[in-house]
Structure 1
Amino acid sequence: MNEKLFSPSSEAAIHIEDVAPSVPEVGTVSDRDAMRRLGKQQLFKRNFGFTSIFGFAMILMCTWETVLGTVAFGLSNGGPSGLLYTYIAVWLGYILIAFSMAEMASMAPTAGGQYHWCSEFAPRSCQKQVSYVVGWLGILAWQVGSTVGAFISATIIQGLVVLSCPSYGYQRWHGTLIAMLITLFSALFNVLLAKWLPIVENMILVLHFAAWITILIPLWVLAPRTPHSGVWSFFIDAGWGNTGVACLVGMITNVGAFIGSDAPAHMAEELKDASKTLPRVMGWTILVNGAMGFIALVTFCYTVGDVEAAITTTTGYPIIEVFYSATGSVAGTIGLSVLLIILNFVNNITSMAGASRQTFAFARDRALPFSSWISRVSQRFVVPTNAIILSSVIACIFHCINIGSAIAWNIIMSVGTV
């Protein structure tokens, strides 16, 4: 391991100068003091404020959208009751994690996030070793996470085609190609239109709330009701022989819905007044998204109807089955599903930004092969272009796994929740 790895010294800043010229000093006095204290050079423009970074965090975590989009696994492993009870447990656990990270982010607002905090707060005897391991785990998790939004959007599109055209022959590679196109667009957006990202996050924050209301109200009004016993005391052990084990297996649905609580930290060097804004955003995100996700999940469980039919639906998505049951209309189902597609599409753009910043930061500290190339910041676009390219290539490779084996794909996706 490089001896200069994670060193917040002036020597680290000298190495950074080889990557890209410094942009003009921006942000508050606190931001400039933090960068000097951390031994980092200001390479990005601080375009994000409270509202835009809050939108970034909310749509990247994407809790209610992810719960509704990935509910099939938890529904078949634990049932509706298992989903609800494990959701509460996971949410409470993530609140503690998010608030702990928020405190560390206020002290060390850097794009490196967890691995940098380990380098400062771990026992001195193992700081570099722990930081290195945590950094690689973070890279892996973020690269995996940057594929989820594209995959959900692509396969919901496929599900709607199945619903609209029963003669359509479902093929996994169709969804993979769509997901790759979404990934390519996300990469291009993060390079060519990066300066518009804060504005997009502001707009998508409004859609995040508006779509939640737009989807839930028709379900509350139109969908048939499941009795209370079918929601709060209906478990499915899925052949595990133990309800508790089944619920723990299915809990991955809820864990995945809270991934990204660290996301704002990786944009810290592009956020104004980061030391104060980051902890507030991280705290509010886990509380608000958690509440929205819980209400959405309760609504789903009360309107799912025949659980077995929802799990085995030919569309691949129980939520599409619920939409169709509630509206009785293909057009209505498509209209509601399009909201999920759009939000997961933008989630992919946001995840690509987060993954590239994590990768850039780790390379900046000379912890990756070809670090000088990966950590290079474009003078024209003022973004880590090479890190974005690398992240998109890795995402496309992960997407290809789904062509060969859906089980292997699910296993890889599970890595992102660990």
Structure 2
Amino acid sequence: MAEDTKSVETKDSVVLAELGYKQEFKRAFTPWESFGIAFSIIGLLPSMASTLSFSLSNGGPVSMVWGWAVVAFFVMFIALALGELASAAPTSGGLYFWTYKYSSPRWRKLTSWLVGYCNTMGNIAGVASIIWGCAVQLMAAVSIGSGMTFVPTNGQLFGTYAALLVLNGLIASTATRVLARLQGFYAILNLLLCLVIIIAVPSATPNEFHNTASYALGEFANLTSWPNGFAFILGFLTPLWTIGGFDGPIHISEEVSNARTAVPWAIVTAIGIAGVLGWVLNVVLAFYMGTDPESILSSPIGQPMAAIFFNCFGTKATLAIWSFVVIAQFMMGTSALVSTSRQTFAFARDGGLPFSRALYRMNAYTRTPVTCVWASVLVAFVLGLLAFAGPTAINAIFSLPVIGLYLAFMIPIIARFVGGRPWAAGPFNLGAWGLPVGIVAVVWQAFNIVVVSFPSEPSVTSDTMNYTAAVSGGWIILCLVYFFFPRYGGMYWFEGPRANVERMEASSESASVDEKGSVGVSH
């Protein structure tokens, strides 16, 4: 068994060397734990709790049940398209690496740069939004325990957020083996939490909150001024936010055993299970939440799912269940921070970030990029300060993950098919289905970049304005300015992925070598 494990690790190291990188991480993640990091970042129940207001106000039961089904179906196309890429070239840099590898020589530096920055900043903003959601959920528990007399201030929320951020940083700084074992535990807890809710809600909910099948599966409750059809589309925001961040396994590719197979299957299975379990959870909530979504949204608890649980279970049982929701949300933050630190490390390794030399460091004791963990914590802390500018500002920043990550997903998928570069499939291969799956994935993501940019109401005020497009567009403009800046911009020094290992003799026949002699990618 030990020999088999060593053989797999050797093959993984050879594959990584063919891509141009030496093995710096310890390969301690099993396929199950690779699935665990994806499923933990999705964080099904706590993510639904943080975003349920979108589907409740934009269609109610119909959006919750059928809107979820639509989104889960199409997100699977993204998973399949990314799975093929991850199988072909499993590296922590993933998305920007593939963009450079498959884009045309004319555009590869710019597109790789843009994807690297969108992915890095999108992931850091994702960490910030997850941990801010955890702070809000924790304060909701305090509110329930106080009999709804406690209302947190911005200062209290931010203080809680900062403390949770530091705790996440401490955990994410531990050794790879510890982090791998935690992912398996996180996955089990998330699965059990979903199953408990699916069983407990129908059993405990008082009769006055029971709904008929016609209501739960067919009632359309539009609490906005948008037409019903468009309100239904805006209800997609709940599943779009929930089934997100699934690029986690990509960024731990250099820590996963048998990465060419384990990483793509981790992405696909995590999204598949989240899609099905999430749909069942929505059906259960639609049957047992009562018929007044407006009262749920306006509850003094300040958390729609917590309000539903309060109606179902009462104070003590809700607090007991909600404590596990908060724990699962905290675990999401840890997993997202691990993934983010690996993306940051990879991009710094290739010289793409400011202070790359300082960031590209591996802790000698833990064999993990501790410097990148705390750099990500620092940036997330700064983003959290925008809470003092009001909910509109903080929500705009926390919208960065959707557009940033979708752009980072779309561009390498497009590059693979239109860049004109050689394609060698890995073990996870869709064959002839790769192109149609890729087309659907790209069109779906482009459509939803538009959707997430719309305001909550057609009559736009400073409170209802959606600044997502402005913030994301501003970030992209800054990235482009930094790239084209005279003399000092990235166009003068960024060379894409940089090979840092001598080509291994055993892999010389399978390595792709360009005219300058680099390994895996052309410089």
Alignment of structure 1 residues 334-345 onto 2, 5 Å: 334-345=319-330
Residues of 1 paired with 2:164 and 2:7: CA distance? 33
1:385-400 aligned at under 5 Å gives the runs: 385-400=370-385
- AA at the equivalent of 1:170: P
Partner residue, 1:135: 116
Aligned counterparts of 2:175 and 2:250: Cα–Cα separation in 1: 21
Is the 1:252–1:417 Cα contact (8 Å) retained in structure 2? no
Give the match for residue 279 of structure 1. Answer: 264
Moved more, 73-82 or 312-321: 73-82
1:52 aligns with 2:62: no
Q: For 2:343, which of 338, 358, 370 is the aligned residue? A: 358
> Is the CA contact (8 Å cut-off) linking 1:323 and 1:333 kept in structure 2?
yes
Measured after TM superposition, the shift of residue 70 of structure 1 is 1.7
Deviation at 1:172, TM superposition (A): 2.6
Query: Deviation of residue 263 (structure 1)?
Result: 1.1
Contact 2:57 2:224 in 1 (8 A): no
One-letter code aligned to 1:47: A
Corresponding residue of 2:102: 121
For 1:208, the aligned partner's letter is N
Give the drift of 1:408. Answer: 1.5
Distance 1:284 1:192, change over 3 A: closer
Instruction: Tell me the amino acid that sits aligned with residue 172 of structure 2.
Output: N
Q: Could you tell me how far 1:192 is from its partner in structure 2?
A: 3.6
**d(CA) in 1 for partners of 2:41, 2:7:** 25
SS in 1 for 2:363: coil
1:321 to 304, 307, 310: 307
Question: Identity over the aligned pairs, expressed in percent?
Answer: 24
2:130, 2:329 within 8 Å by CA — same for their partners in 1?
yes
**Correspondence 1:249-328 to 2 at 5 A:** 249-305=234-290, 306-327=292-313
Structure 1 pair 338–280 and aligned structure 2 pair: CA distance change class (3 A): same
**Distance in structure 2 (CA, Å) of the matches to 1:65 and 1:177:** 21
* Greater Cα shift, 240-249 or 37-46: 240-249
Residue number in structure 1 paired with 2:161: 179
> Using the alignment, how far apart are the partners of 2:260 and 2:248 within structure 1?
15
Equivalent position of 1:18 in the other structure: none
Offset at 1:167?
2.8
Matches of 1:269 and 1:26, distance apart in 2: 15
**How far does residue 239 in structure 1 lie from its aligned partner after superposition?**
3.6
Contact conserved, 1:78 with 1:236, CA < 8 A, in 2? yes
Q: Which residue of 1 aligns with 2:137?
A: 156
Q: Report what 1:9 is aligned to.
A: none
Cα gap change, 1:259 to 1:241, in 2 (>3 Å):
closer
Which one is further off, 62-71 or 40-49?
A: 62-71
1:64-122 deviations in whole A, cap 9, x for unaligned?
33113320132123322123332122111210010111111011000011111111222
Shifted more, 47-56 versus 115-124: the winner is: 115-124
Cα distance between partner residues in 2 of 1:265 and 1:254:
21
Secondary structure of the corresponding residue to residue 417 of structure 1 = helix
| Counterpart-to-counterpart distance in 2, 1:116 and 1:208 | 31
Deviations 1:97-149 (A, max 9, x none): 10111111011000011111111222333122111111111112101111233
Alpha-carbon distance between aligned partners in 1 of 2:199 and 2:58, rounded to the nearest angstrom: 27
Name the residue aligned to 2:186: 204
Does the 8 Å contact 1:112/1:358 carry over to 2?
yes
Structure 1 residues 141-150 or 62-71, which shifts more? 62-71
Of 62, 82, 88, which aligns to 1:81? Answer: 62
Deviates more, 1:173-182 or 1:82-91: 82-91
Q: Secondary structure of the residue that 1:48 maps to in structure 2?
A: coil
In structure 1, how many angstroms separate the alpha carbons of the residues matched to 2:391 and 2:66? 27
Query: Aligned pair 1:106/2:93, yes or no?
Result: no
- Of the three residues 64, 74, 84, the one matched with 1:93 is 74
What is the CA-CA distance between 1:227 and the residue it aligns to?
Answer: 2.3
Give the aligned residue type for 1:229: S
Instruction: Compare CA radii of gyration and give the structure with the larger one.
Output: 2
Whether 2:209 is the aligned partner of 1:231: answer no
Aligned-residue RMSD, C-alpha: 1.7
Q: What TM-score comes out, normalization by structure 1 length?
A: 0.90
CA contact (8 A) 1:145 1:413 kept: yes
Distance in 2 of aligned mates of 1:136 and 1:393? 17
Are the equivalent residues in 2 in contact too, given 1:83–1:247 (CA < 8 A)? no
1:218-245 Cα offsets, whole Å, 9 max, x none, are: 2111223222333333334444331222
1-structure distance, mates of 2:175, 2:347: 24
Is the contact between residue 266 and residue 354 of structure 1 (CA under 8 Å) also seen in structure 2? yes
Q: Verify the 8 A CA contact 2:42 2:242 in the aligned structure 1.
A: yes
Distance across 1 between alignment mates of 2:236 and 2:265:
28
Q: Does the C-alpha gap of structure 1 residues 169 and 207 become closer, same or farther in structure 2, counting only changes over 3 Å?
A: closer
Instruction: Quote the residue 1:188 is aligned against.
Output: 170
Give yes or no for contact 1:159–1:314 (8 Å, CA) kept in 2.
no
Q: Which runs of 5+ in 1 are unaligned?
A: 1-24
The answer to whether the 8 A contact 2:143-2:149 is kept is yes
Once the 2 structures are TM-superposed, how far is the Cα of residue 272 of structure 1 from its aligned partner? Answer: 1.0
Contact 2:169–2:374 (Cα < 8 Å) also in 1: yes
Determine the C-alpha separation between the residues in 1 that align with 2:373 and 2:184: 22
| Kept in 1: contact 2:13–2:22 (CA 8 A) | no
3-state SS of 2:399 partner: helix
CA distance in 1, matches of 2:224, 2:42: 31
Matched ranges for 1:406-417 at <5 A: 406-417=391-402
Indicate how the Cα distance of structure 1 residues 272 and 333 shifts in structure 2: closer, same or farther if over 3 A, else same: same
Tell me, in whole angstroms, the C-alpha distance in 1 between the residues paired with 2:172 and 2:151. Answer: 34
Match of 1:220 in 2: 202
Runs of 4+ in 1 over 4 A off after TM superposition: none
Aligned partner of 2:304: which letter?
A: P
Tell me how far apart the structure 1 counterparts of residues 268 and 224 of structure 2 sit (CA, whole Å): 38
